[in-house]
Amino acid sequence: MSLPGFYIDDLHIPVPIIQGGMGVGISLSGLAAAVAAQGGVGIISAAMVGFKEPDVRTKHTEANLRALRREIRRARELTTGVIGVNILASLTDFEAMASCAMDEGVDLIISGGGLPRTLPGLVKPGQKTKLIPVVSSGRAAELLARMWITRYDRVPDAFVVEGPLAGGHLGFKRSALDAPESRLEVLVKDVVEVAKKLKETHGREVPVIAAGGIYTHQDILDMLAIGASGVQLGTRFVATHECDADLRFKQAYVDSTQADIQIIDSPLGLPGRAIVSPFLKNVSEGHTSPISCYCKCMASCGVEQAPYCISLALISAQRGNFRAGFAFCGANAWRVDKIVSVAELMHELTTGETAPPADEQPSS
């Protein structure tokens, strides 16, 4: 059974799969363009996108803006498909990055990591970028929608609702991660009800996109059956040839076991899901890395109390160095057993059938 496309306002999404934004160099133009070329939505992460720029420490915002423009333009050169940017609301340069993405004409912005309260106020006349907040409950969706409508007369163009099985920083307290009311299907149904009310009061379809723990074709069908219009997933796209991370980062997913995937306490004061590494083992044993602030990338970071710099740790991991960093991942990362092409993965996700490797597929 193939998957139906959907619309976000007037933007057609041919395949209802959004590749999750994975920060610090995991999802850049290479991965995003490959997913978009297959009919899904390719997402460039803005989080420390300029980490390779030589002046990122001294001119943090300028370096990130330069790199973000370059990645968006590269993606546009590689595909005519749908390209978006994921921008954490907690970034210190959030508004500058969002304005840059809209100036570059990206199709959509997905924003979580806090409520993106000011996002609609950054839209300039004539800009058509769709604005999609990430929420973790129906209550949060209702609150954010009310805020946008009151301040900016703007209804969210869609919602991404992310459950506790997602990778990276989680929008739940540790005590709520395993609660029945935190299950993704419960959260999706709650946000779908909010979307229905918005349609009744404002005459706008507001698609709901399910995220966190989506792994198989059947998982996608299950979410569509309860009212989601699409899904977002990141973990499976890490183990692709086109993913922008070092091969050793991808191999960490392939080599991981279920026991290797643990909830950690991030320096940002949030729980996060990651693959255990030598670096994280050292941290758990009380070995900290005294730092001065690398570049004040996150507004919520209290460097004085932080056991290590999360930006430096994630940069190290992106480059395959797990003695100095670690890989965030979703709860199902241990199920990944090989690295495939984006085309193979999208075929499997959309049809439920395993595609032959690219070099074994018949030429057209």
Predicted local distance difference test score (pLDDT) of residue 173: 87
Question: Does the structure show a pLDDT above 90 at 324?
Answer: yes
Predicted local distance difference test score (pLDDT) of residue 363: 38
What confidence category does residue 292 fall into, taking pLDDT thresholds of 50, 70 and 90? low
Structure tokens at 35: 């997913």
Domains of the chain in start order, with CATH, are 6-245+336-351 (3.20.20.70), 248-333 (no CATH)
Question: Does the structure show a pLDDT above 70 at 362?
Answer: no
162 forms beta bridges with 211
For residues 272 and 262, the answer to whether their CB atoms sit within 8 Å is no
**What is the SS3 assignment for 138?**
helix
Segment 27-48, tens digit of pLDDT: 999 999 999 999 999 999 999 9
CA separation, residue 195 to residues 131, 182, 185, 209, 228 (Å): 15, 19, 15, 11, 10
Predicted local distance difference test score (pLDDT) of residue 354: 84
Provide the 10 A C-beta neighbour count for residue 204: 13
- Strand pairing of 108-111 and 82-86? parallel
φ and ψ at 161, to 5 degrees? -110, 115
Rounded to whole angstroms, the Cα distance separating 138 from 133 reads: 12
What confidence category does residue 212 fall into, taking pLDDT thresholds of 50, 70 and 90? very high
Segment 227-286, tens digit of pLDDT: 999 999 999 999 999 999 999 999 999 999 999 999 998 877 789 999 999 999 998 888
Mean pLDDT of 325-344: 97
Segment 98-125, tens digit of pLDDT: 999 999 999 999 999 888 999 999 999 9
Predicted local distance difference test score (pLDDT) of residue 77: 98
Better pLDDT: 183 or 363: 183
Which amino acid would we find at residue 288?
Answer: T
Rounded to whole angstroms, the Cα distance separating 88 from 86 reads: 7
Structure tokens at 256: 């991981």
Segment 55-93, tens digit of pLDDT: 988 898 999 999 999 999 999 999 999 999 999 998 989
Question: Does the structure show a pLDDT above 90 at 287?
Answer: no
Predicted local distance difference test score (pLDDT) of residue 113: 86
Percent of the chain past pLDDT 90, that is, above it, reads: 80
Predicted local distance difference test score (pLDDT) of residue 144: 97
Predicted local distance difference test score (pLDDT) of residue 303: 61
Rounded to whole angstroms, the Cα distance separating 225 from 32 reads: 27
Residue for token digits 């290479």? 30
Rounded to whole angstroms, the Cα distance separating 302 from 320 reads: 26
Predicted local distance difference test score (pLDDT) of residue 297: 59
Contacts of residue 341, Cβ cutoff 8 Å, sequence gap at least 6: 34, 240, 241, 242, 357, 358
Structure tokens at 267: 């320096």
- The dihedral built from the CA positions of residue 306, 308, 310 and 311, taken in this order, carries a sign that is positive
Question: Does the structure show a pLDDT above 80 at 170?
Answer: yes
Across 8-17, 169-178, 304-313, the highest mean pLDDT is recorded for 8-17
- Strand pairing of 11-13 and 6-8? antiparallel
Which amino acid would we find at residue 279?
Answer: F
Least trusted range by pLDDT, from 171-180, 224-233, 325-334: 171-180
Mean pLDDT of 127-152: 97
Contacts of residue 164, Cβ cutoff 8 Å, sequence gap at least 6: 170, 172, 176, 177, 178, 182, 184, 212
Predicted local distance difference test score (pLDDT) of residue 2: 83
271 forms beta bridges with 265
